[in-house]
Amino acid sequence: MTSETDNGGARRPIAITAVVDCVGALATGTVHGNLYFYDTNKAGGSQGFGTEQLRTRVRSGDQVLWSVLALECEAYTAIDGIDIDHELCEPERRVYPGTDVAYWIGTVKKDIPGDTYYQVRFRLGSRDEPIVTTLSPSLVG
């Protein structure tokens, strides 16, 4: 299974989008039940779309790009960090040129034998402390 390619044959990044119900998460103090993950590699074998336990199919050399959207258009949400085994993937925060829109990107360093679970830390609203995922999405080899 491979990720999509552009016309030049190079692999496109696999984009993972977290959709957060900020109002629900702030009211309950958790993203559990208020978080929906999607990625762009369904054709490559990813599973669990629209859940907190997305299983993104990857292979060595794939770039993975994480971003977040708020379910409510006026709510503040951002990814504060991604906790994953850095021997497999080391995400770093970047900002789109000319904007203040941030995303996280990392390259899969080697083939993953099974599931590699990770946690995402979210900044929501005016809350001082990040809220961390309770059910873990994973990168799957």
Number of domains in the chain: 1
Exposure string over 53-67, b if 16+ CB within 10 A, otherwise e: ebbbbbbeebbbbbb
In a domain, 7, yes or no: no
The encoded tokens of residue 51 equal 């859940």
Give the predicted TM-score (pTM) of the model. Answer: 0.90
Exposure string over 83-107, b if 16+ CB within 10 A, otherwise e: ebeeebbebeeeeeeeeeeebbbbb
In a domain, 4, yes or no: no
Instruction: Note the pLDDT of residue 120.
Output: 98
In a domain, 99, yes or no: yes
In a domain, 6, yes or no: no
Mean pLDDT of 48-59: 97
pLDDT digits (tens, 9 = 90+) for 123-132: 999 999 999 9
In a domain, 3, yes or no: no
In a domain, 9, yes or no: no
In a domain, 33, yes or no: yes
For residue 69, the domain's CATH number is 2.60.40.3910
pLDDT digits (tens, 9 = 90+) for 27-37: 999 999 999 99
In a domain, 19, yes or no: yes
The span from the CA of 55 to the CA of 47, in Å, is 5
The span from the CA of 36 to the CA of 129, in Å, is 21
Task: Note down the domain range covering 78.
Answer: 14-140
The span from the CA of 58 to the CA of 64, in Å, is 8
- Nearby residues of 110 by Cβ (< 8 Å), 6 or more positions away: 60, 87, 88
Predicted confidence band of residue 10 (pLDDT cuts 50, 70, 90): low
